[in-house]
Chain A
């Protein structure tokens, strides 16, 4: 996965994209991931809802995920979520405080997606391949 990610980023990426074991998708493009995290795509291909988990805005793994994987500044995506949340147009991702909490939440929530850095072991979830 790291090799694939290196194809479009000058940085060595250290996040892995994880999903609940109920999710049948095993790979996503950067554009698709960005759609999911900007809440433009809210359902998986089997019509089940995507439940998005994130770390707090100032968390270094969140900052790296936004800039390097989604290629969007953290403040931009936070603005999108705030607009959805406070105007009734949609919902924002669920925020959890630590990577362990995020891993736990993704592993127990059907349809869930999240990200952790590669130092965290996530056997109870599926890892998604990211391609250009």
Chain B
């Protein structure tokens, strides 16, 4: 599936490779300002005790690799071509391997002193949540593992972007501040591995992402250190029964709403995102099955710059898959799963140290209670995850240019 999705964009990839190959030449030529080439490489060590978040064996692991390379070429005043290829390895968190992260044509169709509007055509990144567009960019996110309430790794591949189009409209007012409106419409290919991550290995059929509509609005008051935002997501999936399949054709509706606030002070930073989600499943487990749950979650995060090179982080991240069953007792009664599969709370501390310009090491520790944000999502594994409390630590070294 991955190779298919890569080959689908082979023409764009070729253009990008050509652009990359010409970068050395361009650095000394007139088109240097039109071409930008950037990248990053990060490798870490992660150890999880008490859950299969990274691997089933729960052993110390180097499955924490992120490599990316992008190029952007300004074709003329209005059009730009850009793309990024990434290689990711995160164990059970998401499917491993190389992938085309984004590849798009950017049309700046309106620009004035106070308005700017862009249309992005192709494979775009989700730009709707605070860290959604930089969740795989090690140096541009607050921690190695992001708060799973919002940035659930199990849904990373479908949440990270889509194939279709996106629109960004920015307005700047001297009286009211900066406004950004984003809209996107598209869908993602779900690879077999990603199907396993969402649905588990037992369903033998295929999972399709039919449509994903997202919108978000951000506001920064004039010269303020605060920024506020909200986002809406509505997506539909369907499952097609496979051979010798214990599961039936099924429909999934996933809706996800967030509000967020960000404060960026000279030393202190604060970020918060609050979410409500709706997950409705028709059939799938058996014909006639119906479920419609509202889940909720949030995180609050503080970062403090001790020095120019050292930043500390403390965060509380909380998620319930059913707001009417926060302790998971109903879940236990109806499914036989332990009640702690109904919630997940993560208390995190971390440090980021800049060894040099563009070279950083991150280290963090997580104390987690509950297993609602583990994979597989729709067929959870209580044998591997037989502990309500689990912990993890991670160290990651990253370089970017």
Contacts and interface: CB of A to CB of B under 8 A. Distances in A.
Report, as a range, how many residues of chain B touch the other chain.
35 or more
A9 to B, nearest CB: 12
A85 B82 CA distance: 10
Given A40-B172, A41-B113, A42-B108, A87 B127 contact: yes
B223 interface: yes
B140 A51 contact: no
Contact of A79 (B120, B140, B266): B140
A22 interface: no
Contact of B172 (A35, A42, A58, A87): A35
A82 B113 contact: no
A90 interface: yes
A91 B36 contact: yes
Interface stretch (B49-57, B70-78, B239-247, B380-388): B70-78
Contacts of A112: 33
A11 interface: no
A48 interface: yes
A58 B356 CA distance: 11
Contact of A86 (B70, B112, B170): B70
A92 B134 contact: no
Interface in A1-54: 29, 31-32, 35, 40-43, 45, 47-49, 51
Nearest to A87: B133
Interface in B74-98: 74, 77, 80, 82-84
A42 B125 contact: no
A40 B125 contact: no
Contacts of B137: 82, 86-87
A92 B108 CA distance: 15
Given A40-B172, A82-B139, A109-B33, A88 B70 contact: yes
B36 A73 contact: no
27 contacts: A31-B172, A35-B172, A40-B170, A49-B77, A75-B264, A75-B305, A79-B140, A82-B134, A82-B139, A85-B70, A86-B133, A86-B134, A87-B125, A87-B133, A88-B84, A88-B102, A88-B106, A89-B118, A89-B125, A89-B127, A89-B133, A91-B36, A91-B72, A91-B74, A91-B80, A94-B33, A109-B33
Interface of B: 32-33, 36, 38, 40, 68, 70, 72, 74, 77, 80, 82-84, 102, 104, 106, 108, 111-114, 116, 118, 120, 124-125, 127, 133-134, 137, 139-140, 168, 170, 172, 174, 178, 222-223, 264, 266, 305, 357
Given A86-B68, A87-B134, 16 more contacts: A29-B174, A40-B172, A40-B178, A58-B357, A71-B223, A82-B139, A83-B140, A85-B36, A86-B38, A86-B133, A86-B140, A88-B82, A88-B120, A89-B168, A94-B32, A109-B33
